[in-house]
Amino acid sequence: MIMLEKLVQKNNSKLLLVVLDGIGGLPVKDGKTELELAHTPNLDSLAKESALGLHIPVDYGITPGSGPGHLGIFGYDPLEYQIGRGILEALGLGIEVKDTDIAIRGNYATVEYVDGKPIVKDRRAGRIATEENRRITQRIKENIKEIDGVEVIIEPGMEHRFALVLRFPHPLPEGSDQIKDTDPQKEGKEPLKPIAMNANAQRVAEVVEKFVHKVGELLKDEPKANYVLLRGFSQKPKMKGFEERFGLKACAIAVYPMYRGLASLVGMDVINFEGSSIEDEIETLRSLWNDYDFFFLHIKKTDSYGEDGNWEGKVKVIEEFDKNLPKILELKPSVLVITGDHSTPSVLKGHSWHPVPVLLKSDYVLGGTSQRFTERECLKGELGIFPAKKLINIMFAHSLRLAKYGA
């Protein structure tokens, strides 16, 4: 990747990366995938004149999470840049993560005090209702705002889950997140202490222990969620920003907090906009077209329906995108890529290890190899099957942003 950075050269090209989250699928009806079942005249027409292929998000046979899936297509090796679960939890709930932060996953839990010691009776507090979670989290927000000069940021998730960010006054040394989980993983046991596994993590562990104690005192009167269990301690990964590496001013247009957060991690400008539909996202794209060089447009519902096992819903989202595709093509991007971060076959109701369809449109493709944008047609394409982290190379090359290597 260092070689790529050295070859990057500036020009006025516009690059657009459209991510239909979880777009890849498997046969669900009459031997056809969701892409094959969808009525997509605009995508089909585009496919005939584009370069098609499939990308491998992490490695052969490896099922990626959303973090690794997106890092790869952003040009970051997901095996080199690993995002901790606490970071993903925080990003997913809309918390910005800084170099000074430790991000943590949390569960509300039910404990019973025996001889003054808490014993876990239910690690998930009976899976309390999300509304109850919000009420309890608000209590913590109002009563525990800082500990020893460290800002406490907490946001409710679904049911018993929450995200916690401890914001220190100065950037933390590497390894400050090396702290053992406090969740004993079994009922009937005492919560574990947040033990630092190295000297850099000692200060963080002390603040965490005080936080747990303060919350325990505050929530003693709660019938179910009267304690917290913490895990997934993580720091913001150290990585060069997108513009620093590639010389492109980049922005992200996404509805869901996690994907906005992932884009923010690599230094893209995250755009706030009204609405949440595909049409709203595309209108935002059009309004910003003169302001940026690189655009990341994220569409979530293809993945959501895939995880629900709702292939009909996934087909409808694909068709909705197809109807709006002409509005994107009117912008005439120098390079347009339509792909996913991973495959989410409805038959599996989750992410999978299957290669992800890729369509690339530019003035410098062979084209004419495929008739539709589907998994089987992508197998016929000129791009072949390649690692996701190389997609950025291919985009840059087709935008004439890479200088020749060697004499």
The beta-carbon contacts of 175-179 under 8 Å, at least 24 apart in sequence, are 175/200, 175/201, 176/102, 176/200, 176/201, 176/203, 176/204, 176/235, 177/84, 177/86, 177/102, 177/201, 177/204, 177/233, 177/234, 177/235, 178/233, 179/204, 179/205, 179/208, 179/233
For residue range 345-370, list pLDDT tens digits in order.
999 999 999 999 999 999 999 999 99
Q: Tell me: do 372 and 317 sit in the same domain.
A: yes
Q: Tell me: do 204 and 243 sit in the same domain.
A: no
3-state secondary structure at position 200: helix
- pLDDT score at 89: 84
Amino acid in position 245: R
Q: Tell me: do 153 and 279 sit in the same domain.
A: no
Q: Point out the domain boundary residue: 234, 267, 298.
A: 234
Could you tell me if residue 276 is inside a domain? yes
* CA angle centred on 335, ends 295 and 52, rounded to 5°: 115
pLDDT at residue 407 is higher than 80: no
Could you tell me if residue 404 is inside a domain? no
pLDDT at residue 375 is higher than 90: yes
Q: Which token pair is 398?
A: 């087709």
Tell which phi-psi region holds residue 246, choosing left (phi > 0), alpha (psi between -120 and 50) or beta: alpha
- pLDDT score at 293: 96
Amino acid in position 400: L
Cβ atoms 23, 359 nearer than 8 A = no
Q: Tell me: do 201 and 335 sit in the same domain.
A: no
Could you tell me if residue 75 is inside a domain? yes
pTM of the predicted model as reported, rounded to 2 decimal places: 0.83
pLDDT at residue 208 is higher than 70: yes
Q: Tell me: do 63 and 14 sit in the same domain.
A: yes
Q: Tell me: do 48 and 111 sit in the same domain.
A: no
Amino acid in position 63: T
If pLDDT is split at 50, 70 and 90, which confidence band does 260 have? confident
3-state secondary structure at position 244: helix
- pLDDT score at 1: 59
Angle between helices 257-265 and 66-73 (to 10 degrees): 50
- pLDDT score at 38: 97
Of 22, 73, 84, residue with least CA distance to 256: 22
Q: Point out the domain boundary residue: 234, 252, 277.
A: 234
Amino acid in position 83: I
Mean pLDDT over 337-349 rounds to: 97
Mean pLDDT over 254-276 rounds to: 88
Q: Tell me: do 131 and 212 sit in the same domain.
A: yes
Could you tell me if residue 68 is inside a domain? yes
Q: Tell me: do 228 and 97 sit in the same domain.
A: yes
Could you tell me if residue 405 is inside a domain? no
Q: Tell me: do 197 and 341 sit in the same domain.
A: no
Q: Tell me: do 267 and 372 sit in the same domain.
A: yes
Mean pLDDT over 25-43 rounds to: 97
Q: Tell me: do 157 and 203 sit in the same domain.
A: yes
| Residue 222, domain extent | 87-234
Per the structure, the count of domains in the chain is: 2
Residue 62, domain CATH: 3.40.720.10
- pLDDT score at 16: 98
Could you tell me if residue 407 is inside a domain? no
- pLDDT score at 401: 93
If pLDDT is split at 50, 70 and 90, which confidence band does 2 have? low
If pLDDT is split at 50, 70 and 90, which confidence band does 33 have? very high
Instruction: Compute the distance between CA of residue 130 and CA of residue 136 in angstroms, rounded to an integer.
Output: 10
For residue range 9-29, list pLDDT tens digits in order.
999 999 999 999 999 999 999
Instruction: Compute the distance between CA of residue 32 and CA of residue 344 in angstroms, rounded to an integer.
Output: 15
pLDDT at residue 92 is higher than 80: no
pLDDT above 90 as % of the chain: 78
* Average pLDDT score over the chain: 93
Q: Tell me: do 227 and 92 sit in the same domain.
A: yes
Could you tell me if residue 406 is inside a domain? no
Mean pLDDT over 85-110 rounds to: 89
Contacts of 76 (CB under 8 A, 6+ apart): 239, 266, 389
Cβ atoms 16, 359 nearer than 8 A = no
Q: Point out the domain boundary residue: 234, 249, 264.
A: 234
For residue range 270-282, list pLDDT tens digits in order.
898 999 899 999 9
Instruction: Compute the distance between CA of residue 396 and CA of residue 378 in angstroms, rounded to an integer.
Output: 20
Could you tell me if residue 403 is inside a domain? no
